[in-house]
Structure 1
């Protein structure tokens, strides 16, 4: 059964006590033919920091963190979308100064992030 994105998000937050304890609400959730993908932005208040993690799930219940040596700096308010079999991340306010930037990143599913500018 294929779930709408909003249900995938709800399952993520409630399904696994281990994962739910580690995670805040996702900044973005995307679905590709391979899996559902999501990332968190801030931990809550502005002074609590940001996350730079990306997670994926094939069933919406069990989530695995994507490990990569190449990943963008921790940020919030970035845009995320799927185009031409890649996940794209653009802009956002990055640590440490939280100024909006114009970085563009893409992930060729399922392996590796590449900076595209």
Structure 2
């Protein structure tokens, strides 16, 4: 994971290895001053885990299995004091 410092336009590595598996098509969102990483797909298939961090270096797993199926291509947004996870698909690409 890398951090871009604006306006310096300088990338800094926040952590050399995140605790979740390497993946794509996940979402990330800032909610209540925490960064969240949700779902996606990795070499094992669809994931439905959720991770959060206050600094981008130290991460905690909020859950290893959400109430919804693993998905990819979804969106996440913080709105009206809530975190919303929208759409996506639970089919492997």
The alpha carbon displacement at 1:34 in A equals 3.1
RMSD: 2.8
**TM-score, normalised via structure 2 length:** 0.69
More helix by share: 1
Divergent runs of 4+, >4 A: none
Distance 2:86 2:41 in 1: 16
Task: Please list every run of 5 or more consecutive structure 2 residues that lacks an aligned counterpart in the other structure.
Answer: 5-12
**TM-score, normalised via structure 1 length:** 0.57
More strand by share: 2
Task: Please list every run of 5 or more consecutive structure 1 residues that lacks an aligned counterpart in the other structure.
Answer: 1-5, 100-117
Distance 1:17 1:77 in 2: 23
Matching residue within 22, 25, 28 for 1:24: 22
Q: Please give the residue correspondences for 1:1-117 in structure 2 after superposition, counting only pairs within 5 Å.
A: 7=3, 11=14, 15=15, 17=17, 19=19, 22-25=20-23, 27-44=26-43, 48-67=44-63, 71-94=67-90, 98=91
CA gap 1:85/1:52 in 2 versus in 1, 3 angstroms:
same
The alpha carbon displacement at 1:39 in A equals 1.9
